[in-house]
Amino acid sequence: MPMLVEISDPVAVLRELFDAAIEAASPARAVPPALPSAPKGRTVVIGAGKAAAAMARAVEEHWPAPLSGFVVTAAGHGLACERIEVVEAAHPMPDEHGLRAAERALALVRGLGRDDLVLALISGGGSALLALPARGLSLADKRAVTAALLRSGAAIGEINAVRKHLSAIKGGRLAAAAAPARVVTLVISDVPGDDPATVASGPTLPDATSFADARAVLARYRITPPDVVARHLALAADETPKRLDRAEATVIARARDALDAAAERARHLGIEPIVLGDSIEGEAREVAGDHARLTLRHAREGRPCALISGGETTVTIGQGAAGKGGRNTEFLLALALALDGAPGIFAIACDTDGIDGDSDAAGAIVRPNSLANARARGLDPAACLAGHDSARLFGALGDLVVTGPTRTNVNDFRAIMVLPSG
């Protein structure tokens, strides 16, 4: 389909595509159609994740019966609710607030009966926010392993396989504590493949991974855990539940929904969308190289379009790296270097939760002159990429995308727009 309109402001168009993606994954839109019927007994709401507060508000606005409970979300992602308490904890490194939240969640679901309902509101980020170490382990032990995993380049499924086996609440243990109550989980997925048992390490769903899987992940990435953690994983004394008879889950929003909405918005603007996939994984700079080669091919063919993709890339950080940024700005800087100023190409990459890595931005924008402008300001783009300092570079250019917390989380969003360069 040819481009039907002239694009006078490519950056504004890219932001419009990103906004459409966020709206498609909003809890206000996704939660109400998925709510179960009210039970004969009590309704207890438990939630964890960056979208948990917005999910709780959507439940309150549409639930026809009494309910109680609480959700834990990341600092800055809270919203005021009337019947469901909202608490905040640290992310991505677990803290005492997350530990207290996990203890409280277990206490609230214990002692329920068959006529009662646990409504679990789960989204990305919940692994850190519900942080209750397994017996014999400390929060410091979990923090040490989490830090090593986050720096290793391990995929989220691998990270969560380890987390489940160091936890007293993840990997279905929360649902097991709620038996014989019915447990209904609504999931906003931030994981490639949308396995609900992987999101937030699946506290209310059966776990297909094992202690052996957790040990294999640590070995694969050459991570030496604290001795007490190594002993716990070797002993494998308390495997996660593999079956939960009264637990069910529905994924109510996912990356594909966001990409489809962005593609539809592109069509409305007269831009041909090409959706590359919603579950792209790999090292951010390597994924950027693949995207750059495909983009340049379309540019050589004179094919105006928007290449749209999602998923979760990784960044492997070496010892001593002290830069600022996240996987989306790293992707963009590597993309810019690979494109090398090719005319007519603009790109956006953002985390849909509004926070990319350790920066205050969701992501950034790349323009054809980004590298030239950076060098004119005395910055070395290649050195910034090597030092994982991408957010500093885009901040100097004024091209960071700052949204604040979006209160949803369906992983990364990327759009590369190829425009006529003549």
pLDDT at 405 over 80: yes
Query: Residue ranges of the alpha helices (H) in 38-166?
Result: 52-62, 96-109, 126-129, 139-152, 156-164
Cα–Cα nearest to 382, from 393, 367, 398, 366: 393
CA-to-CA dists, residue 167 to 94, 201, 237, 261, angstroms: 12, 10, 13, 37
pLDDT at 23 over 70: yes
| Digit-coded pLDDT (tens) for 310-366 | 999 999 887 656 678 899 999 999 999 999 999 999 999 999 999 998 889 999 999
The CA distance from 418 to 364, in Å, is 17
pLDDT given at position 322: 66
Q: Are 164 and 170 in contact (CB under 8 A)?
A: yes
pLDDT given at position 343: 96
pLDDT given at position 4: 44
Stated pTM of the model: 0.93
Structural domains for the chain: 10-23+256-418 (3.40.1480.10), 26-253 (3.40.50.10180)
The CA distance from 17 to 13, in Å, is 6
| Digit-coded pLDDT (tens) for 74-104 | 999 999 999 999 999 999 999 999 999 999 9
Cα–Cα nearest to 363, from 403, 334, 332, 329: 329
The CA distance from 171 to 165, in Å, is 8
Mean per-residue pLDDT, 62-82: 96
pLDDT at 195 over 90: yes
pLDDT at 206 over 90: yes
**Structure token pair of residue 154:** 């391990």
Mean per-residue pLDDT, 275-299: 96
The CA distance from 136 to 358, in Å, is 31
**Per-residue confidence band for 373, with pLDDT thresholds at 50, 70 and 90:** very high
Mean per-residue pLDDT, 2-24: 85
